[in-house]
Structure formats: structure tokens, C-alpha cells
Chain A
């Protein structure tokens, strides 16, 4: 029962008591006081009801807005279309690359093993294999197109997630990772698995050679070199 109704019920009971023609002055005083108290309570409870109602309305609005934003995110499209399609495209890139590499390697090995003593015959054989190698290189065009599709899908997901996070005022949780992610991160750190650097090796072969050319064990690094290890 709402608090305002309770207060109204108490007031009705008090009015009924007063109307019963009581003669005792003290009881009348108590009734008067109780009446004042219920009036105050009514105000208090009605304001309380109103603020709770406003809170619930705000929460309902928020849930509705979140639902709209999640809907705009099109999670089903991302889950059932874009991500699986990106995976299929990348698998196709790996497959195409492997197939082309196999062809190129096989033809190159065949050229190395070509032992015809007749010049024209040798030339014809080498030219035929070179043409096969050139044809196999066409995989790069297909791979480029497939990778572009994947990049577009990732950009699409990135923009939608970023917009959702912005509208919802979402902040990244600290240290949130699954056990598998944690184990993988620890293994990568322990084994210094950084992966290939973008834009060529981070330390050139010449610099590595210089490190191995120095006598003794590991050369001392200056502070800049040490700092660069932590960049």
C-alpha cells in the first residue's frame, strides 16, 4: 500500500475517534497531536513516493535508452555476419597465400633442379616455370581485396562500439581479463613474444651484428638504450 494511503487511513481513523464524542481532555489532546503527526507524515511520505517514482522513471528511461543504443550497435549483425565473415576472409587469405607459396616454391625448386644440357630446351623450361610463378603472384590482388573487407568490418565494429561507449559513458574496467588471456599475457611476457615489428625490424641486422661482434658477453647498454626497452 502506498505511504500516502496509509497516512490517509490513519487520518480517517482519528477523525472517526474524534467524532465519537469523547469527553476526556487528555485523549483529545493526544488525538490532536496524532492528527498533526499524520499530516506531517503525509507530506513526508508523498514527497518520498514522488522521489522514488522519479528514480524509477529515470531508471526506466535509462534502460530504454541503453536498449536503443544496443539495438543501434546491431550486435546480432556483428555476431552473425561481420565477425564470422571477417574470419572466413582471413582464412581464405591464409589459404590463398599458402597455395601461391607452394606453387612458387615448387616451380623455383624445379628451376634449380633443371639440368637440361640443350640451351633452347633449358630456356623454354625455365620460361614456362617463370610464367607459372608470375601467375601465382596474382594471389596478392585477391588477398589485398579480402584484407580490405576485413579492415572495413573491423572499422565498422570499432566505430559502433566507440559510439556506444561514448553515449553510455562507459569506462574501461581495470585488470579485466579471462584466465586464458591472463595465461597468454604471462607466457608472452616470460618468453618476450613481441611479434614482428611494423615497418621492418626494430633492431637492424647491422646493429645485432655489432652486438655479437663485441668481445665478452652482453654489451653494456646506455640509459637511452635501456629506456627504449621500456617504450
Chain B
């Protein structure tokens, strides 16, 4: 199934600069319908109000981490199928294993580039 390029994507990060970088990368890839949240709590609230085609989330945020957001999303019937990519500086194997066990669709370690983001999005959503 072809990927809808106008689908809304939720970017979750507590650093405005990182959100801006991801926004720009997504724009270069062709996705312009991007929403943002500063932590897991705000993201979860937005996900209750809107339906997103993809969530791209940082791990280390306050008060709710990306890991907690992932667990909440996967436990919530209304949003458990939403594709979820973790983009983080947490690079220990235990983090990757924990995220995978919690149901993350892919995992990107920071710093990263547009090519990596596009490749992981393709792996999760299909070619676009």
C-alpha cells in the first residue's frame, strides 16, 4: 500500500532545535504535515485527540519519557497500531532490547541523517 505523503506525523522531543531538524528532514523527504509535542504526556494527549500516521519520539524527556509513551500507546486499544520510531541518544543494548520488547517499530541513534530517517521510515511504512 502506498504511503500517504500528507499523513500527520507527531514528532516528540524536549529540544526545540531537534524538532526543527526533524521537521526539516521530513520536509526534504516529502512529509510536511508535522505536529509536535515536548514530552510523552503532551504527545499522549495529542494522540487521544488526533490520529497520526507515525510517531517519532525521543527517549529522555520529562515528565513522561518516550519509553513510557511507547508503553502507554501500545497498551491503548485506540492507538496501539500507530507506527512508532524511537530517535534517541540512548544507545545501550538494554535500551534497544527494552524498546523492541515494548513494541517499537524501529530505532535510530542520534546523531543521524536524512538517509537513515528515510530508510527507517520506509522499513516501517513501506516504500515512498
Task: Please report A residues at the B interface, Cβ cutoff 8 Å.
Answer: 98, 101-102, 105, 108-109, 112, 191-197, 201-205, 207-208, 211-212, 217-218, 221, 225, 228-229
Task: Say yes or no: is B123 at the interface (Cβ < 8 Å to chain A).
Answer: yes
Cα A98 to Cα B92 in complex, Å, equals: 28
Chain B interfacial residues counted at CB < 8 A = 30
A residues less than 8 Å from B48 (CB atoms): none
Bound CA–CA A204/B92 (angstroms)? 9
Q: Which B residues lie within 8 Å of A208 (CB)?
A: 96, 107-109
Query: Are A191 and B65 in contact, CB atoms less than 8 angstroms apart?
Result: yes
Question: Which residue in A105, A205, A229 is a CB contact (below 8 Å) of B94?
Answer: A229
- List 11 additional A-B contacts (Cβ < 8 Å) besides A203-B93, A208-B109: A105-B24, A191-B59, A191-B68, A193-B65, A194-B92, A195-B90, A196-B110, A201-B91, A212-B106, A218-B97, A229-B93
Cβ–Cβ contact A205 & B67, under 8 A: no
Using an 8 Å CB-CB cutoff, how does the interface string of B97-126 with A read, 1 for contact, 0 for none? 110110000111110100010000001000
Instruction: List the A side residues contacting B116 at CB < 8 Å.
Output: 205
Contact B108 A194 (CB under 8 A): no
Is B20's CB within 8 Å of the partner chain A?
yes
For residue B17, CB closer than 8 A to chain A, the reply is yes
Which 5 A-B pairs rank lowest in CB-CB distance, beginning with the nearest? A201-B91, A196-B89, A201-B109, A202-B91, A191-B65
Find chain A residues with CB under 8 A from B94 CB.
192, 229
Contacts of B82 in A (CB 8 A): none
Between A and B, 30 residue pairs with Cβ closer than 8 Å are A102-B17, A105-B21, A109-B24, A112-B24, A112-B28, A191-B60, A191-B65, A191-B68, A192-B95, A192-B98, A193-B60, A194-B90, A194-B95, A196-B89, A196-B90, A196-B91, A203-B92, A205-B109, A205-B116, A207-B93, A208-B107, A211-B100, A212-B100, A212-B106, A212-B107, A212-B123, A218-B101, A225-B93, A229-B93, A229-B94
Query: Chain B interface secondary structure, helix, strand, loop or mixed?
Result: helix
The residues of B that contact A221 with a CB separation of less than 8 Å are: 93, 97
A169 to B107 alpha-carbon distance, docked (Å):
48
- In the bound assembly, the distance between CA atoms of A101 and B15 in angstroms comes to 12
Q: Which residues of A contact B17 (CB under 8 A)?
A: 98, 101-102, 105
Query: With A98-B17, A192-B67, A196-B110 known to touch, is A218 a contact of B100 (CB < 8 Å)?
Result: yes
